[in-house]
C-alpha cells in the first residue's frame, strides 16, 4: 500500500491521514493508511474476534446442564450471538487485506492473543451468571467506546454488536439475582462465582495506561477512544451498585468511594497472574486452544465436501453449455 512513495510523499500522506482522524472522519478500506495503523488494527480486531469465538467455550460448557429449558434456550442464543460477533469481526479485519486463513493460523500458532478471561474454567451454573453480568458487562464498556473507533468497518461492526449485546449482560445478572435471592446455598454459589470472576474481569481492560505498549499510538489514531484505566474505572463504578442491589459483595477490601475523585478506589490487580494467563499459562489455556484447533480440523471435511459439490455443479453446467 505504501509502495514507491518518496519520504516526502509519505510524510505528506501521513499528515493528511492524521488530519482526517483529527477531524473525526472515518477511515475506509480503500483509503491510504500508514502500515502501522493497518497492523495495529489487524492485531486489535483479530484479538477481539478470537475472544468472541474462544469465549463460546466456557459458556458452551453449561448448555447441556442449564437448570431449566428456558435458561438453556437463552444460553444457546447467547453463545450463538458470540459466534456471530466473531464472524463480523473477522470479516471487518479482512477488509484490511489479511485472509481468514492467516487470522486463524496466528490464533492456532499462539502468536495472536485473545482475552485471558476465557482461560478460566466455569465450575458452577453461577459462573454463567457471573460471566454474563461481569465479562459481558466489561466487554460492553469497551465496545460502546469502540463504536467511535476511527476505522469504518470496525466501528460499524461495533454498532451492530452492541445492539446484540444488550441482552447478554441482563440475562447474566438475572441468573445472579435469582441465585442470590434463593437458598443460602444458592447465594453462596453466586458469591463464589463473583469472587472468582471479579479480578479477571478487571484484567479484561488490559495493563495500566502507563504500561500499555500500544495505547498512546492507538489513542492518537483514535483506534481506541478511551484508555484502559478510564474504561476499567467506569466498569468498577457501575458494578458496585449492581452488586449492592442483589446483596453480593465485590471481593476487594480496598474498594471505597472517593469523594474527591467522584469514583470508587479499588485494589491493585495481580499483574503476574494476568501475564501468566495471557501467555498461555491460564488454568484452561491449553484446553481452549486445543479445542478450537480440533473443531477447525474436524470441520475440514465439511468445507471440502462443499467445495467438491460446487465444482461438480460447475462442471455439469459447463458441459451442458458445451
Partner 1 sequence: MSEHMQLFEVFIRSRRGLDHKHVGSLHAEAHAQALEYARDVYTRRSEGVSIWVVKSADIVASQEADCESFYDPLDDKPYRHATHYQLPEEVDSM
- Segment 278-281 long-range contacts (CB within 8 Å, at least 24 positions apart): 278/113, 278/116, 280/110
> Do 199 and 282 form a contact (C-beta atoms < 8 A)?
no
Residue of 137, 157, 200, 206 interacting with partner 1 (CB under 8 A): 137
Please state whether beta strands 256-258 and 263-265 pair in parallel, antiparallel, or not at all (unpaired): antiparallel
Q: Which does 19 bind (CB under 5 to 8 A by kind): Fe ion, partner 1, none?
A: none
What's the rounded Cα separation, in Å, for the pair 313 and 322? 14
241 makes contact with partner 1 (CB under 8 A): yes
Can you give 2-56 as a three-state secondary structure string? CCCCCHHHHHHHHHHHHHHHHCCCCECCCCCCCHHHHHHHHHHHHHHHHHHHHCH
Site for partner 1 in 255-274 (CB under 8 A): none
Total number of residues binding partner 1 (CB under 8 A)?
Answer: 25
Q: One symbol per residue from 282 to 321: x for binding partner 1 (CB under 8 A), - otherwise; what is it?
A: ----------------------------------------
40 makes contact with partner 1 (CB under 8 A): no
> Do 58 and 17 form a contact (C-beta atoms < 8 A)?
no
249 makes contact with partner 1 (CB under 8 A): no
Q: Which does 85 bind (CB under 5 to 8 A by kind): Fe ion, partner 1, none?
A: Fe ion
Q: Which three cell numbers stand for residue 207?
A: 495493563
Q: Which does 89 bind (CB under 5 to 8 A by kind): Fe ion, partner 1, none?
A: none
242 makes contact with partner 1 (CB under 8 A): yes
Q: Which residues pair with 15 in a beta bridge?
A: none
What's the rounded Cα separation, in Å, for the pair 1 and 130? 45
> Do 127 and 55 form a contact (C-beta atoms < 8 A)?
no
Query: Which residue's CB is nearer to partner 1, number 118 or number 151?
Result: 151
Q: One symbol per residue from 166 to 195: x for binding partner 1 (CB under 8 A), - otherwise; what is it?
A: xx-xxx-xx--x------------------
Residues that bind partner 1 (CB under 8 A): 25-28, 30, 70, 73-74, 77, 81, 137, 152, 155-156, 166-167, 169-171, 173-174, 177, 241-242, 245
Amino acid at each position: 500500500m505504501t509502495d514507491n512513495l518518496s519520504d516526502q510523499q509519505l510524510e505528506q500522506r501521513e499528515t493528511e491521514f492524521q488530519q482526517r482522524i483529527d477531524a473525526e472522519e472515518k477511515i475506509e478500506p480503500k483509503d491510504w493508511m500508514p502500515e502501522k495503523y493497518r497492523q495495529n488494527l489487524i492485531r486489535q480486531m483479530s484479538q477481539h474476534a478470537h475472544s468472541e469465538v474462544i469465549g463460546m467455550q466456557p459458556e458452551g460448557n453449561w448448555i447441556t446442564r442449564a437448570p431449566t429449558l428456558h435458561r438453556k434456550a437463552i444460553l444457546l442464543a447467547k453463545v450463538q450471538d458470540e459466534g456471530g460477533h466473531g464472524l463480523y469481526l473477522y470479516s471487518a479485519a479482512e477488509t484490511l487485506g489479511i485472509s481468514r486463513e492467516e487470522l486463524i493460523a496466528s490464533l492456532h500458532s499462539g502468536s495472536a492473543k485473545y482475552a485471558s478471561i476465557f482461560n478460566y474454567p466455569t465450575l458452577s451454573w453461577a459462573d454463567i451468571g457471573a460471566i454474563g453480568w461481569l465479562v459481558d458487562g466489561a466487554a460492553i464498556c469497551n465496545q460502546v467506546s469502540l463504536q467511535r473507533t476511527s476505522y469504518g468497518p470496525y466501528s460499524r461492526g461495533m454498532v451492530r454488536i452492541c445492539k446484540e449485546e444488550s441482552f447478554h449482560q441482563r440475562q447474566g445478572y438475572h441468573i445472579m439475582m435469582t441465585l442470590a435471592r434463593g437458598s443460602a446455598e444458592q447465594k453462596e454459589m453466586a458469591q463464589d462465582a463473583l469472587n472468582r470472576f471479579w479480578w479477571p474481569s478487571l484484567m479484561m481492560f488490559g495493563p495500566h495506561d502507563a504500561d500499555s505498549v500500544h495505547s498512546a499510538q492507538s489513542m492518537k489514531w483514535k483506534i481506541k477512544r478511551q484508555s484502559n484505566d478510564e474504561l476499567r474505572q467506569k466498569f468498577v463504578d457501575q458494578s458496585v451498585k449492581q452488586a449492592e442491589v442483589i446483596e453480593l459483595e465485590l471481593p476487594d477490601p480496598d474498594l471505597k468511594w472517593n469523594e474527591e475523585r467522584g469514583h470508587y478506589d479499588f485494589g491493585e490487580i495481580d499483574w503476574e497472574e494476568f501475564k501468566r494467563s495471557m501467555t498461555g499459562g491460564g488454568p484452561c489455556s491449553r484446553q481452549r486452544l486445543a479445542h478450537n484447533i480440533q473443531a477447525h480440523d474436524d470441520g475440514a471435511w465439511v468445507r471440502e465436501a462443499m467445495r467438491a459439490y460446487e465444482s461438480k455443479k460447475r462442471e455439469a453446467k459447463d458441459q451442458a453449455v458445451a
